[in-house]
Amino acid sequence: MHDETVIVTVDDDGVGLPTRPRRASGTRNLEERATRRGGTFELSTRAEGGTRARWAAPVPAPERSTL
């Protein structure tokens, strides 16, 4: 069970993604790390221009002591 989710969103105001974006090793790495933790990684073009990268993963609940 997870108590919370960590979400990191990075927006830029550049030209956005190319028409046929390629998965570079950095974005592939972010996607793999999120997936291993039960999360997601999304890379998209923003409507107002630029790019948005969003990484989200659940944070496990801390183990409770039985002392």
- Specify the pLDDT at position 1: 45
Reading the block at residue 55, the tokens are 């990484």
Pick the closest to residue 2 from 32, 30, 35, 37 (CA basis): 37
Structure-model confidence comparison of residues 36 and 14, the more confident one: 36
Range of the domain at 23: 2-60
In a domain, 37, yes or no: yes
Count the domains in the chain. 1
What value does the mean pLDDT of the chain take? 84
Residue bearing tokens 């028409």: 19
The CATH number for 36's domain is 3.30.565.10
- Distance, C-alpha 57 to centroid of its chain: 7
Per-residue pLDDT, averaged over 1-27, amounts to 78
pTM, 2 dp: 0.72
CB 61 within 8 A of CB 3: yes
Could you read off the pLDDT of 18-54 as tens digits, one per residue? 777 666 778 889 899 999 999 999 988 888 888 899 9
Whether 8 is covered by a domain: the verdict is yes
